[in-house]
Amino acid sequence: MTDIKKIQDFNCEKIIMACNPKAKSYEEALEVELNSPYVDCCVMIKNNRFPSLSTEVVHFINDIDKTFVNIRGEKYKLSSIKKIRGKPLTLDRVLIALEAKGMFYISVNGHLIKRVRDCFNYFDYKDLNVKWDLTKPTLEEQTEETQLAIAKLLGFNN
């Protein structure tokens, strides 16, 4: 079984790159996301009370001194951020990345479906057997099976 952290890192890189097509590298795409004003961004915060890092969704509020605030109203400076993970990997961003690989839609019940165009100009729908739980907003909150399936659609080879 593949490590879920590897899958999540792979998904994160592919999705962020697809959502920032002008970026030449993953690092540049992260910088674009970090410098986009008034957007949420997932970051790893340096936590002095606990040796492990904590993941926070922060909101960029001040371009001059690079200030962020989390949902509890706690402010962070850019210097307190250990690792930038980019904007949350929501369904719309996953679909942008999948669209870069082909034409994908989501059905009403949360299943991803691939639309394939053939030479006679009609569409064949293929169920990809990927269920997105619509009650959970981000990819990391989905089941490991869903995360792995999306990674495979994005080119992951374990």
pLDDT tens digit string along 29-67? 988 887 765 556 666 666 566 545 456 666 555 555 667
Same structural domain for residues 79 and 104? Answer: no
- Does any domain span residue 158? no
pLDDT of residue 79: 67
- Does any domain span residue 133? yes
Domain holding 60, by residue range, is 4-86
State which of 60, 86, 112 marks the end of a domain.
86
Same structural domain for residues 46 and 106? Answer: no
**CB 93: neighbour CB atoms within 10 A?**
18
Same structural domain for residues 67 and 122? Answer: no
Q: pLDDT tens digits, residue range 71-104?
A: 677 777 766 666 667 788 898 999 899 888 776 7
**Rounded to a whole number, what is the largest CA-CA distance in the chain?**
63
Specify whether the CB–CB gap between 29 and 23 falls below 8 A: yes
CA angle at residue 37 from 41 to 16, to 5 degrees?
45
